[in-house]
Amino acid sequence: MQNAEAKYEAAAATYNAKAEKVSDDNVRIAASAERIATETTKAERLRNDAAYQLRKAAEAGARGVPRPGSTAPGVTAPALATSTVELEKPEESSAAFLSRWDAAIRLANLAELILAAATLIYIRVRSAKTNAPHLPLFGRYPSVVNRTPAPVGNFTKKKEPTKNHGSFDIEGLRKLREALKDISFRLAGYSFKSAIRGDAVFIYLMKANAGTQEATHTAKCKLDILRDARTMPRDKFTERLTRLLKQNKFPIE
């Protein structure tokens, strides 16, 4: 636009210079014509005066005087006229172009903004649908659903009879629960519970649901797991326990 405006200004300056020159020439031609008309008027007046004198002298009988019917040659004035010169006008300036197309340009800009907003809304909605959390595997496969036990109560408040505990290993149970805490740290929204029933240790995967907890997966282990939890290094036992839970279809990555 700046280059076009510069070209327009240069063309306009050239046009104005030519127009001014033509105007000055026409003014000079008009002035010359006026002077010639004045001189022609004076010459005509002198010719008329001379003719009048000659006529008077002829009437008085003077010799060598032309007859009254003859006239002295007149003065012919040169013909002067101004000519109209057609100059090529410069092209339309960028400012005039923008003024003429202002409404269309603003409408196009508004359409571009609406398109950008619609694109952002579509991307946001599409991303929300694409990134929506999927149902866990045990919610989509019947074989895993069948393994889902009924909700269990709070094991911290309920104690089993001593006869059902078998060879109770309280230290091993504590180590087991610590390892389960390490594993649940990687599972958002889940926690573990464990309990001894008879001659087995039950591990439950609990999920929070509307202020309550329900068990989604259950694993039944031998009492030997308590001894391993007490005797093995914590990291080694945690790795072994993770493999065991994965084998029982627990959703652990």
The pLDDT of residue 80 is 54
What integer is the mean pLDDT of 11-21? 77
The pLDDT of residue 88 is 56
Name the more confident of 91 and 8.
8
The verdict on residue 140 lying in a domain is: no
The answer on pLDDT for 180 being more than 70 is yes
Domain count, the chain: 2
Long-range contacts of 15-21 (CB under 8 A, 24+ apart): 15/87, 15/88, 15/89, 15/90, 18/87, 19/87
The pLDDT of residue 251 is 87
DSSP string, 62-128: -TTPPPTT--PPPPPPPP-------PPPPPPPHHHHHHHTHHHHHHHHHHHHHHHHHHHHHHHHHHH
218: part of which helix (H) or strand (E)?
A: strand 212-222
Among 27, 60, 93, give the residue marking a domain's end. Answer: 93
Judge if 234 and 155 occupy the same domain. yes
Of all residues in the chain, what percent carry a pLDDT higher than 70?
72
Judge if 88 and 24 occupy the same domain. yes
**Taking Cα atoms as reference points, which of 219, 239, 220 lies closest to residue 229?**
239
**Taking Cα atoms as reference points, which of 197, 183, 104, 187 lies closest to residue 149?**
197
What integer is the mean pLDDT of 3-20? 78
Judge if 82 and 150 occupy the same domain. no
Dihedral, CA of residue 218, residue 221, residue 223 and residue 227, to nearest 10: -100
The verdict on residue 69 lying in a domain is: yes
Query: Burial level of 250, CB count in 10 A (0-12/13-18/19+)?
Result: buried
The pLDDT of residue 82 is 60
The answer on pLDDT for 110 being more than 90 is yes
Dihedral over Cα of 97, 101, 106, 109: its sign? negative
What integer is the mean pLDDT of 134-149? 43
Among 93, 112, 134, give the residue marking a domain's end. Answer: 93
Name the more confident of 93 and 169.
169
Judge if 23 and 87 occupy the same domain. yes
Judge if 150 and 239 occupy the same domain. yes
The verdict on residue 130 lying in a domain is: no
b/e map of 121-157 (b: 16 or more CB within 10 Å)?
eeeeeeeeeeeeeeeeebeeeeebeeebeeebeeeee
Instruction: Give the CB-side neighbour count of residue 51, counting CA atoms within 13 A.
Output: 13
**Taking Cα atoms as reference points, which of 137, 214, 185 lies closest to residue 204?**
214
The verdict on residue 138 lying in a domain is: no
The pLDDT of residue 106 is 92
Worst-scoring range by mean pLDDT, 37-41, 53-57, 147-151? 147-151
Judge if 159 and 235 occupy the same domain. yes
Judge if 16 and 78 occupy the same domain. yes
Dihedral, CA of residue 27, residue 31, residue 37 and residue 43, to nearest 10: -160
The verdict on residue 101 lying in a domain is: no
The verdict on residue 34 lying in a domain is: yes
The pLDDT of residue 161 is 42
Query: Burial level of 219, CB count in 10 A (0-12/13-18/19+)?
Result: buried
pLDDT tens digits, residue range 115-139? 999 999 999 888 887 876 554 444 4
The pLDDT of residue 163 is 42
pLDDT tens digits, residue range 222-243? 888 999 999 999 999 999 999 9
Judge if 182 and 243 occupy the same domain. yes
The verdict on residue 105 lying in a domain is: no
The verdict on residue 201 lying in a domain is: yes
What's the rounded Cα separation, in Å, for the pair 197 and 159? 10
Residue 83 belongs to what domain range? 2-93
Worst-scoring range by mean pLDDT, 11-15, 66-70, 92-96? 66-70
Judge if 162 and 235 occupy the same domain. yes
Share in percent of the chain as helix, strand, coil (round to 5): 55, 10, 35
The pLDDT of residue 116 is 95
